[in-house]
Copies of this chain bind each other. A is one copy, B any other.
Amino acid sequence: MADEALFLLLHNEMVAGLYRAAEQGEGVSGAGAALGALESMGFRVGQGLIERFTKDTARFKDELDIMKFICKDFWTTVFRKQIDNLRTNHQGIYVLQDNKFRLLTQMSAGKQYLEHAPKYLAFTCGLIRGGLSNLGIKSIVTAEVSSMPACKFQVMIQKM
């Protein structure tokens, strides 16, 4: 529990710190820059985590096998739960649904905070993208929230 608190607190500080810096810096483009910076941080942390995790695991069979690893082992380490639902169109699009996303459960579930949700998703989009990248999969990851604290991450695989 204490570890989880440490991660949540650090994540909040990163979000707050980057938004503060962006506000002081560039005006309107500030929020976009902060989201970009959060995503990049997530990307590098995702890369680093995957390096450590997969040191002793067996080779993955295929893309779906990798996605399952992200939904189970990877997600559990970071968020203390698995992804609740993984869907795919078998053409390179995956949707990962978390019905109780840990970085959103700290916020009130009311609609009035819905507009702040993207701040708390950008780091995790990067985390997924970085993890996949180190497993040889190039992707674009986006997130959407319809009713908090549930959210969906959409992964679009970029064929090379």
Contacts and interface: CB of A to CB of B under 8 A. Distances in A.
27 contacts: A2-B49, A2-B52, A2-B53, A2-B77, A3-B7, A3-B77, A5-B48, A6-B45, A6-B49, A6-B77, A6-B78, A7-B7, A9-B44, A9-B45, A9-B48, A9-B49, A10-B11, A10-B14, A10-B45, A13-B14, A13-B41, A13-B45, A14-B14, A14-B17, A17-B37, A21-B21, A25-B25
A7 B10 contact: yes
A78 B6 CA distance: 8
Copies in the complex: 2
Contacts of A11: 10
A15 to B, nearest CB: 11
Contacts of A18: 17
Contact of A10 (B2, B5, B10, B25): B10
A136 to B, nearest CB: 20
